[in-house]
Chain A
Amino acid sequence: MDACCGTGQEPAPPVCCGDGAVDDYPYDRGDWIVGVVDSAAGPIPRISTELSAPDARGRLRVRLGVRRQHYRVRPGLYAVGSPTPDAPVLVTANYKLSLDALRSELDGIDAWVLVLDTKGINVWCAAGKGTFGTRELVTRVQDTRLARVVAHRTLTLPQLGAPGVAGHLVPKLCGFSVRYGPVRARDLPRYLAEDGRATPEMRRVTFTLRERLALAPVELSVLWRPKVIAAIAVLVALSAVGSGGLDLAGWPSRAAVLLGAPAAGLLAGALVTPALLPWLPGRSFSFKGALVGAVAAAVLVFGLGAAQSVSGIVSIFAVAMTIASFTAMNFTGATTYTSLSGVVWEMRRALPLQVAGVVLALAAFVASFVIG
């Protein structure tokens, strides 16, 4: 009975602790559970601080945008190293990447890890939605009977959990006080060693080239959705039709244009714009994307060589620039520094232009059939 919460057993006992709100969900099997630690609330699973090949494969999978909603661990209390009742309590979300990012930095550290049920969403997003929130924190503290496990009364939260947690209200609700640790787990060992002191650098988010590029595959993952694959097949089929009817000789070059322009736009907006973000002019992503899209279109036009109609060239530019601008604008959701107000500001200006771009592209495309 005592061992029911947070042991990663499958399937979960129907009602164990608290309100039984941890639903019967096929959680990750927990190969990263490597033992058991004794506590006053019963045995607590000890988790590894090393990431395995399955961990790396899982991370690759979600970074490619495949079933990202289904990479969760069972919420509850875990142990790292050999924690005593004086060891710190580190709180995280039950998105497996969040737990992996935390535990992989805890080599040589003894701590308790309290995993909240954020429905498999990472800390910062869940905090914004309220699932990494005051209520869930309090519930998890109570459900795991944390007050029996540790002698102190401090919860160490990731700083990016702050949008969802009213830290000053938590003591009244469950008897534990909240302190916010660093943004990045890799600063935790130093933070803990210096008794909870965070440098200004530890409290700032970054958006490095590496971080930006790590997000590109998800932006591109629209390509491997079934509907998009179907649309591509349709486009390829359509391009068999020339201005005089079925025209197989001209099929490859028309297909190249029909697919090449959107592809250029997508790569421009989803890969090149994020990569070159700090160096592209302007503040708005839609503008940066349109610029890169124009360059991509120019490269494509140049590469396709002579024998292109004016309307064909216009349609390539219109398609590539519009798709690049829209895709880059969507990247705002993945950044660490855009505000809602700023995105609304640029969308009100960019969307009409993007719609105009679609109209122009269609008109030029039709014209290239009619005029030739």
Chain B
Amino acid sequence: MLGTGLRYVEGVTTLEFAPDRCDGCGRCIDVCPHAVFAHDGAAPTGSSGGDAVVALADKDACIECGACVKNCPNGALKVRPGVGCASAIILGWFTGSEPTCGCDSAC
């Protein structure tokens, strides 16, 4: 079985992708742990004349870790990164700050 085989809540990810800024370098494909991206065979070649641009193969598998955004040289990706951790979120609500793992829990 490829990957976890597990699915979480769908239709909520904050991931945004701008194909017109993509040059097909494929770094996002390398770093994504859930194969959200794949080279789009049907698309025209990218602006650098390299491989075809990248496409979203499985947007709902996105865990918003931010690896793709961090490693895209062209700013084609945006996401609101954060820990998918309930206790971190509760802590954030109480302290009025961003969700943060005290890393006392099983993170």
Contact = CB atoms under 8 A, between A and B. Distances in A.
B106 interface: yes
A333 B85 contact: yes
Most interface-central of B71, B73, B89, B106 (chain A CB within 10 A): B106
B21 interface: no
A340 interface: yes
A146 interface: no
Contact of B88 (A201, A277, A333): A333
A25 interface: no
Interface string A331-360: 111111111111111110000000000000
Interface stretch (A37-45, A202-210, A234-242): A202-210
Given A330-B87, A333-B84, A334-B106, A180 B30 contact: yes
B46 interface: no
Given A162-B67, A343-B85, A278 B9 contact: no
B41 interface: no
Contact of B71 (A125, A166, A200, A218): A166
B9 A166 contact: no
Given A204-B34, A341-B12, A128 B2 contact: no
Interface in B86-107: 86-90, 99, 101, 103-107
Contact of B101 (A166, A203, A333, A336): A333
B90 to A, nearest CB: 8
A198 interface: yes
B84 A335 contact: yes
Interface string B22-58: 0000010111111100000000000000000000000
Interface in B70-90: 70-71, 73, 80-90
B70 A340 contact: no
A55 to B, nearest CB: 21
Contacts of B35: 200, 203-204
Contacts of B29: 203
Nearest to B32: A203
A215 interface: yes
Interface size class of B (residues with CB under 8 A): 35 or more
Interface size class of A (residues with CB under 8 A): 35 or more
A125 B4 contact: no
B12 A218 contact: no
A69 B102 CA distance: 10
A331 B31 CA distance: 24
Contact of A206 (B4, B61, B81): B4
Secondary structure of the B contact surface, majority rule = loop
Contact of B65 (A163, A168, A204, A347): A163
A340 B92 CA distance: 12
Contacts of A283: 7-10
A287 B99 CA distance: 22
B86 A333 contact: yes
A182 B35 CA distance: 13
A63 to B, nearest CB: 10
A114 interface: no
A98 interface: no
Contact of A125 (B5, B14, B62, B107): B107
Given A330-B105, A336-B4, A180 B85 contact: no
A183 interface: yes
A85 interface: no
Interface string A280-293: 00011100000000
B58 to A, nearest CB: 11
Given A283-B8, A342-B9, A163 B85 contact: no
A167 interface: yes
Given A162-B30, A206-B3, A337-B4, 9 more contacts: A125-B103, A206-B1, A218-B106, A285-B86, A330-B86, A337-B7, A341-B9, A342-B8, A343-B85
Interface of B: 1-10, 12-14, 27, 29-35, 61-67, 70-71, 73, 80-90, 99, 101, 103-107
29 contacts: A159-B33, A166-B70, A168-B71, A198-B30, A204-B33, A204-B34, A205-B33, A206-B1, A206-B4, A277-B6, A283-B8, A285-B86, A329-B86, A330-B105, A332-B85, A332-B86, A333-B84, A333-B86, A333-B107, A334-B85, A334-B106, A337-B8, A339-B62, A340-B81, A341-B12, A341-B13, A342-B8, A343-B84, A344-B12
